[in-house]
Amino acid sequence: MSIRQANAAAVPTAGRKRRKAEKTRRKLSHFLWGAILPATILIVWQVLGDRELISPLLFPTPLVIADSFVWLWNSGTLNDNLFVSLYRTFAGFGLGAGLGLALGLFVGLSRSAEKLLDSTVQMIRMIPHISVTFLFVLWFGIGDTSKILLIAKGCFFPLYIYSFLGVRGVDNKLFEVTRVLGYSRFKQLVRLVLPATLPNVILGLRLSLAIAWVSLVVAEMMGASSGLGFLMMDARAMSDTPTVFVGIFLFTLLAKITDSLVLFAERRLLAWRDSFER
């Protein structure tokens, strides 16, 4: 460790550049390996479709789907609906995750709040998510509100549970340290409880995001007049399977991108953890 540091200090830029290049190469090779299987599947799919071995209606080939994507994009339909869906997701996620975090921390910090609130929250958590979608649409209409609230409801619980567990899991030994160092209650919260809870919060965020996308699809398919889910529902009614596939593809991509963003943030914010390589 100290030797490596000494080396790095002696040839700072050259060493760092070389290490960076090596890292990039490793990442690229990792990516290529991971891409082999999906690429093969796409090619086989395309070939089977071209030879009409699989139904073009049930399984439009990748090229047909791509065509449909380009058409939807150029016509502006996709843009509009995509934007609406993104807005709903992030508004719902922000609302639900924010409330879940705040309430989880609060209940974690206060035993009386736990006694008062936790059993109720746990009961609400057991209500099957999908089963209330229809009610939400009835109550709040087919516009944004019902979607945002449904997503918020889904995102609330992971953050509530994980931030609660995080607060309760703070090492008592570190609490003693803060007492010996004369921290006020506020400093204990900001400088011990919050950073110690961060790994749990990030875990909760990842779970919440996954739930957010699923909730969005369900909500938009059950009753909406715009959004990606609506686009898919509409296409299904007209047996336009390529568009349905475009929708599936986009949802997958969006969920993956947001998950990667959280992972990236995690790597940055939790570099101090033992289990993470820097």
Partner 1 sequence: MGATLLEIRELSKSFQTDSKTVQALRQIELDVKAGEFVTVIGPSGCGKSTLLRIVAGLDTGYQGSVTLDGQSIAGPGIDKGFIFQEPRLFPWLTVEKNIAADLSLRSPEVKRRVGELIELVRLNGFEKAYPKELSGGMAQRVSIARALLRNPKILLLDEPFGALDAFTRAHMQEVLLDIWKRNGTTMIFVTHDIDEAVFLGSRIVILKPRPGEIRAKINVDLPYPRKKASAAFQNFRYEVLSEFEKIDELSWGESGAGI
Contact footprint for partner 1 (CB under 8 A): 1-2, 5, 173-174, 176-177, 179-183, 187, 191-192, 195-196, 198, 271-274
CA 149 vs. chain centroid, Å, equals: 17
Residue closer to partner 1, measured from CB, 64 or 165: 165
Residue closer to partner 1, measured from CB, 99 or 192: 192
CB of 199 to partner 1, least distance (A): 9
CB of 261 to partner 1, least distance (A): 21
CB of 163 to partner 1, least distance (A): 16
What does each C-alpha distance from 244 to 49, 59, 221 come to in angstroms?
17, 11, 12
Task: Go through 164-203 and write b for each residue having 16 or more CB atoms within 10 A of its CB, e for each that does not.
Answer: bebbeebeeeeeeebeeeebeeeebeeebbbebbbbbbbb
CB of 182 to partner 1, least distance (A): 4
Residue closer to partner 1, measured from CB, 90 or 183: 183
CB of 162 to partner 1, least distance (A): 17
Residue closer to partner 1, measured from CB, 42 or 271: 271
Residue closer to partner 1, measured from CB, 8 or 132: 8
Greatest alpha-carbon span in the chain: 76
Residue closer to partner 1, measured from CB, 16 or 27: 16
Residue closer to partner 1, measured from CB, 5 or 112: 5
CB of 3 to partner 1, least distance (A): 12
CB of 1 to partner 1, least distance (A): 6
Q: Give the type of residue at 215.
A: S
CB of 175 to partner 1, least distance (A): 10
Residue 142, class by beta-carbon neighbours within 10 Å (0-12 exposed, 13-18 middle, 19+ buried)?
Answer: middle
Residue closer to partner 1, measured from CB, 91 or 196: 196
